[in-house]
Amino acid sequence: MLEIDSLTKENVYDVMRELLYSVSYAWHTTESFVRAKHPELLNSEAYLKVNEDFGSYEANRLSKALGISGGKIDSLIQLLKHSHWAVFENIEVKKLAENSFRMRTIGCSSQKTAKKWGMEYYDCRLQGLRARHGFFKAANKNAKVERIFSPPESRREGIPDNVSCEWLVSIK
pLDDT for the residue 159: 92
pLDDT digits (tens, 9 = 90+) for 114-149: 888 888 988 889 999 999 999 999 999 999 999 999
Q: Do 137 and 111 touch, CB atoms closer than 8 A?
A: no
Exposed/middle/buried for residue 99 (C-beta within 10 Å: 0-12, 13-18, 19+): middle
CA distances from 28 to 21, 33, 88, 113 (A): 11, 9, 13, 10
pLDDT for the residue 117: 83
Q: pTM for this structure?
A: 0.87
Task: For residues 152-171, give the mean pLDDT.
Answer: 93
pLDDT digits (tens, 9 = 90+) for 34-72: 888 988 888 899 999 999 999 999 999 999 999 998 789
pLDDT for the residue 36: 85
Q: Which residue has the higher pLDDT, 162 or 23?
A: 162
Task: For residues 82-95, give the mean pLDDT.
Answer: 94
Q: At what angle do helices 73-80 and 45-66 cross, to 10 degrees?
A: 100
CA distances from 119 to 24, 36, 42, 55, 111 (A): 19, 12, 16, 26, 9
pLDDT for the residue 81: 95
pLDDT for the residue 56: 96
Query: Residue 28 above 80 pLDDT?
Result: no
